[in-house]
Chain A
Amino acid sequence: MSTDLFRVVYCSRNSVPAAQGDPQAEVARILATSRANNARDGVTGALLYSNGCFAQVLEGKLAAVQRTFERIQRDPRHRDVIMLEATHIQVQLFGAWDMALAEHAEPAKAMAILSRVLATPNDDAGATVVSLLDNLVRHEGDWAMAAA
C-alpha cells in the first residue's frame, strides 16, 4: 500500500567558489535555513557535506518534499544535482531530525563513497547514500547520548 510519505535522495556539488566563503560556514547557514523551513513543513532528513559534495535525504509528505526539493533546486550554491532515489515510503527514517548534519568520524570513507556515487550513479546509489547517512547520524546520536 502506498502512503503519502515520500523520500528523495540526491547528491550535488558545491558551487560557491572557495574565495567567496568558508564552505563549513556556508553549510551551517544552509542547515539553519533548512531546519527552519523543514520544521514548518514537516520535512525531516539528513545532510552530509564532504569534499565539495552534498548528499541529502528529504522525507515527509509528498507535497512538502516536492516543495522543499524544488526550493533547493533553485539554490545557486550547488550544481550537478543527481537524483539518486525518489520513492514512496512507509516510515521516515530520519523522523527525529528536521535536518541532521551527518558529521563523519571517518571522512575519507564518506568521501570515497560519495565520489563513487557521483561518478557512477547506479540503482543502488540511493540505498548506499541513505545507509551512509543513517550510520553517520546514528553514531552522532550515540555519541551525543554518551556525552550527556
Chain B
Amino acid sequence: MDSDQTCLTAFEDTIFSPTRECSHRDTLTQAVLDHGTTMGVMGLDADMRVVLCNRLATEMLGVTAPHLWRSVCVEQLLAASTRLDTVGRLAFKAALHPASAGQHSGMVGDGDGRTEITLSDGRWLHMNVGRTGGGYHFATLTVEVAGGVPAERIDGLTGLSDRQWMHERLAALLAAPDRAEQVAVLLIDLDRFKAVNDSLGHPVGDALLQMVAQRLGSAVRDGDVVSRIGGDEFAVVMPASAAPETLGERLVDLLSRPYLVEGHVAIIGASIGIAVGPRDGTDTAALVRAADLALYQAKEGGRRTVRVFNHEMDTRARARHALQDDLRRALALHQFEVHYQPQTNLASRSLVGFEALVRWRHPERGLIPPDRFIPLAEEIGLIVGIGEWVLRTACLDAASWPHHLAVAVNVSTKQLTDVNRLPRAVAAALSASGLDARRLELEITESALVQHEKEALQILHALRAMGVRVSMDDFGTGYSSLSQLRSFPFDKLKIDRSFVQDLSNSDEAVAVIRAIAALGASLGMTTTAEGVETEAQEAMVRLDGCTDMQGYLVSRPVPAGDVVGLIERLAADQSIRLEEAT
C-alpha cells in the first residue's frame, strides 16, 4: 500500500503536510488552532490528506495517539477514532465528498456543507465543511454537550436551547435524507406574560419563564427540541408522527395552570400554532412562517387554543396584508369619510346631536364599514391617527350646524394610553374649528377604561376640565361594573343595541334597559338607547325610562353634506308630530 505509506510520513504533535516546510508561520497557525478556538479544525488537500488538524479535533474524534503518524490520510485518522463507528466514519468521509453526501444513515446535512454525526457515546458531532480552492477544504467540528445542545446555543435564563438552535435543528431535519419522517414545529406564545412581568417585576417574570421552561420540558418526549425563541415565546420541534396537536393541547392546559412564584400567584395562558414540514413549508423560514400564521389564528380565536396551519390561513393572511397596505395609504389619500347619525330626545323627539362614524371609501372595494378596518387599524398602530382625523373633521363639520346640536366622537382604547396626546388633540380640534367644547362629546367603551384605568381617568378628567362631555359607549356588554361608573362622572350611558334588538322577545333585555335607565337617572346621566329601528322599540325604550335614542328609525348615518337637509327634514317631522299630538 504505497499511498498509505506516503500518508504515514510526517505527523508530530501536530499534523503538517510533508511536502511543506514547517515555517514559523505554520507553527503560529498551529498554535492558534490549538489554543485560540473552541472548535475542532481540520484542513485537507485534494487527495484527502489531512494537512492541518488541531488538538480539539483529534480529541473529538477520540484519536488517542496522533504522534504515531507524521502525515495521514483521512481514512487512517478515522480508522484510529474511538468515537466513530463504521456508519460514523462513512458519514464523516461523505461530508467531505459532497457528491456522496446524504447517502449514509446516521448523518443529516442541510446541503450547505453542514453535517451531524452520532458519536459512539450518543452525543452529536457537528461538521461544517468549506472549500478554499485548489481542492483544499476544511472542516470545523463541534460536539454537543450532554442534553444535546452546544453551550453557546443555550438560553442563559431557562437552560433551553435558543432560537438559532431551533432553526438549525429544523433545517437539519427538513434536509434529512429520509423525508418520510415529517417534522412538526409548535410555536408557543404566552398570554398575559407581560402583564405579570409588569405588575410583579422582572425577577418574578424571569422565575416564571424558568417554570414555564420546566413545565415544557416535563411534557415533551425525549428527543423533542424545546427552545426559547423570544422573550415569552417558545418552540417545540418534534416528529409529526408523535401527535403534535395532542401535545399542543396538553401544553396549553399545563402552561395555563396557576404558578406559585416567589410567593405570588401568577396566571398566564398559552396559545400554540403548529405547522408540519415539508407539507406546510419545505425550508425553515417557510415552515416557521406557517406555524406563526397558525399561532396568530390561535391568538385571534380567543387564546388558550391550538391551531394547526392550513392554506386558507395563508390566503387570509395575504388578503389582510393587502388590506393593511391599503389602510396605511388611506389617510394620505383622503379615503376616509365621516358620516353622521342623529340622536334624538325621546320625550320631544327633537334632535340633540349626531354621532360621527368613520367610513373608508376604498377605491376597489367600495364603502368599508368600521368593524372591518378599525380592529386592523388598532393592530397596526394607525388608529390614533385616524381617530384624530375624525375628531378634527367632526369638529369642523359640527361648527357649521345650529349651535344647540352636539357631535359625539368615538375614542379608541389606544388613544387612552398617552395621557397628553388626546387632550392636546381635542384642544387643537376645538380651536381650529371654533366649536364650543360643550358641544363635543367623546364616547369611550368600558373595556378601554378597564385596560388603562389610571391613564384613562387622568385623560377623562383633563377633557372634563376643558368642558368636553364624556359618555360610556356600549354599556351593558362589557364588565358593566358599577365601580367604573363611580370612578368617573359620565354625562351619558349609551345602552348597547343588542338589548334594544332583544326587547320584543326577552324580558331580561327589558329589565336590563330599565335598570340602566334608572341607574342613569339617579346618577344624573342621560341614557341613549342605540339601534332603535322600529316604532315599537322606540315606545318601549321611552317607557323604560331612556332619555334619548339613536337608530335607523330616525335615520341611517348620512354623509356630512346631507346633514343640513336631514336637520330640516327632522324639524319638519317633529312639527307634524306635534300638530298630530295636539
Binding site for B on A (CB under 8 A): 6, 8, 10, 62, 65-66, 69-70, 73-74, 76, 79, 81-83, 86, 88
Contact = CB atoms under 8 A, between A and B. Distances in A.
B214 interface: yes
Given A73-B215, A74-B215, A88 B257 contact: no
Interface residues of B, number: 18
A5 B92 CA distance: 58
Interface string B234-270: 0000000000000000100110011111111101000
B211 interface: yes
A69 B218 contact: no
A74 B258 CA distance: 11
B259 A6 contact: no
A62 B254 CA distance: 22
Pairs A-B, 3 closest by C-beta atoms: A83-B258, A69-B260, A86-B265
B258 A81 contact: yes
A52 B26 CA distance: 75
Contacts of A73: 215, 254, 257-259
10 contacts: A66-B261, A66-B262, A66-B263, A69-B260, A73-B215, A73-B258, A74-B214, A74-B215, A76-B250, A79-B253
A81 to B, nearest CB: 5
A86 B262 CA distance: 11
Given A76-B250, A79-B253, A70 B259 contact: yes
Contacts of A76: 250
B218 A86 contact: no
A67 to B, nearest CB: 9
A45 B297 CA distance: 42
Contact of B263 (A74, A82, A83, A86): A86
A8 B257 contact: no
Interface string B194-207: 00000000000000
Contacts of B250: 76
Given A83-B265, A86-B265, A70 B254 contact: no
A66 B211 CA distance: 11
Given A73-B259, A74-B215, 15 more contacts: A6-B263, A8-B260, A62-B263, A65-B260, A66-B260, A66-B262, A66-B263, A70-B260, A73-B258, A74-B214, A81-B257, A83-B258, A86-B263, A86-B264, A88-B263
Nearest to A79: B253
Contacts of A74: 214-215, 218-219, 254
B268 to A, nearest CB: 13
B214 A70 contact: yes
A86 B250 CA distance: 25
Given A70-B211, A74-B218, A86 B260 contact: yes
Interface in B202-227: 211, 214-215, 218-219
Contacts of B218: 74
Interface in B293-331: none
Nearest to B219: A74
A6 B254 CA distance: 23
A109 B219 CA distance: 36
A27 B264 CA distance: 28
Nearest to B218: A74
A55 B214 CA distance: 24
- Highest count of chain A CB atoms <10 Å: which of B250, B254, B260, B262: B260
A147 B250 CA distance: 46
B259 to A, nearest CB: 7
Given A86-B265, A88-B263, A10 B258 contact: yes
B19 to A, nearest CB: 62
A65 B260 CA distance: 9
A69 B219 CA distance: 17
A54 B297 CA distance: 34
B146 to A, nearest CB: 22
Contacts of A83: 258, 260, 265, 267
A73 B256 CA distance: 10
A136 B264 CA distance: 28
A135 B423 CA distance: 59
Interface in B442-458: none
Contacts of B264: 86
A87 to B, nearest CB: 9
Contacts of B219: 74
B243 to A, nearest CB: 14
Contacts of A79: 253
A91 B258 CA distance: 24
Contacts of B263: 6, 62, 66, 86, 88
A84 to B, nearest CB: 10
Interface in B105-149: none
Nearest to A71: B218
A73 B260 CA distance: 10
A12 to B, nearest CB: 9
Interface in B358-401: none
Contacts of B254: 73-74
B420 to A, nearest CB: 38
B204 to A, nearest CB: 12
Contacts of A82: 258
A78 B218 CA distance: 15
A73 B265 CA distance: 13
A8 B264 CA distance: 10
A14 to B, nearest CB: 14
Nearest to A15: B253
Contacts of B260: 8, 65-66, 69-70, 83, 86
B531 to A, nearest CB: 33
Nearest to A73: B257
Contacts of A62: 263
Contacts of A70: 211, 214, 259-260
Nearest to B215: A74
Contacts of A10: 258
A70 B218 CA distance: 11
Nearest to A86: B265
A74 B214 CA distance: 9
Contacts of B214: 70, 74
Contacts of B265: 83, 86
A77 B262 CA distance: 25
Nearest to B211: A70
Contacts of B262: 66
